[in-house]
Amino acid sequence: MGARPGRDARGPLAGLLIAALASAACAVGGVAEPEGDRPAPNPSAASPGPSTTRADSTTSVAEFEQDVADAQAVAERYWAAQFKASGQRFQPIRRITPYQRAGEVSCGGQALPRNNAVYCSQGDFIAYDIAWSVAAFRQVGDAFVFYLLGHEYAHGIQVRLGINYSFTIQQELQADCMAGAYLGDSVRSGALSLAEGDLDEFREGVAAVGDDPDQPWFAEGSHGTSEQRTESFFRGYERSLGACDLG
């Protein structure tokens, strides 16, 4: 998977920027609600082990960082264009911050645990456990980084649009749809190019972050089952934002 540099393309962002997601907290409306300790995507669902690479990816941390930077650049360009088209000003998410230790980053006074990624509305930033995110990248492939970043970025867009559902699962499935739209539209516009296997990586990655089947849909922190998350993501991917109930 690769980003095609546009005229405004930046070089590699300094250091370790950004990134991604996970099945974890993703709280909107302020609370980073650690769902922590959720294992990275199920190894049985995500085929290649750390020693195997997808055709278009390596498993190096440098490659991961470049994918994060590319995903951020593509997301910013995408959402800026969407806002502009509807006559609104767009403010990119302020920062994307990797962390290594529990408590190194806080959101609204709440320390973020390991094995997590989150959009924090207080502070308007995305934070992610780098070791955990790199492990997910190695398991699933590079497309997963674009999905993760897109999902967390979508939470920042929801806040900008004033969207705040009663149940977290609604907020989460909409974020999956928006992540799908950002990716599908970016592929259609030529901003992103897919390599062989990337669609399968999306499928595996989204399915791997589904809730346990016995988790009630209405529970605080529910994101949706693998089936629900896959359906939402591909609905957005194939039909764009109009399929995401943005109102």
Task: Name the nearest CA neighbour of 155 among 123, 184, 189, 114.
Answer: 123
The region of 5-13, 48-56, 167-175, 225-233 touching Zn ion under the rule CB under 5 A is 167-175
Residue with the shortest CB distance to Zn ion: 26
- Smallest distance, Zn ion to C-beta of residue 194, A: 23
Strand partners of residue 99:
129
Applying CB under 5 A, the site for Zn ion has a residue count of 3
Using rule CB under 5 A, residue 185 touches Zn ion = no
26 vs 74, beta carbon nearer Zn ion:
26
* Residue given tokens 């900008």 in the structure block: 160
The per-residue DSSP string of the chain comes to -EEPP-TT---PPSSS------SS----TT-------PPSS-TTTS---TT---TT----HHHHHHHHHHHHHHHHHHHHHHHHHTT------SEEEEE-STTSSEETTEEPPSS-EEEETTTTEEEEEHHHHHHHHHHH-HHHHHHHHHHHHHHHHHHHHT---SSHHHHHHHHHHHHHHHHHHHHHHTSEEPPTTHHHHHHHHHHHTPPPTTS-TTSTT----HHHHHHHHHHHHHH-GGGS---
- Smallest distance, Zn ion to C-beta of residue 28, A: 7
201/6 Cα distance (integer angstroms): 25
- Smallest distance, Zn ion to C-beta of residue 55, A: 29
The region of 100-108, 169-177, 179-187, 238-246 touching Zn ion under the rule CB under 5 A is 169-177
Among 26, 40, 96, 127, the residue binding Zn ion under the rule CB under 5 A is 26
Using rule CB under 5 A, residue 172 touches Zn ion = yes
- Smallest distance, Zn ion to C-beta of residue 176, A: 8
59 vs 119, beta carbon nearer Zn ion:
119
The region of 30-38, 129-137, 171-179, 192-200 touching Zn ion under the rule CB under 5 A is 171-179
Using rule CB under 5 A, residue 176 touches Zn ion = no
- Smallest distance, Zn ion to C-beta of residue 229, A: 10
26 vs 191, beta carbon nearer Zn ion:
26
26 vs 136, beta carbon nearer Zn ion:
26
**Interacting residues with Zn ion (CB under 5 A):** 26, 172, 175
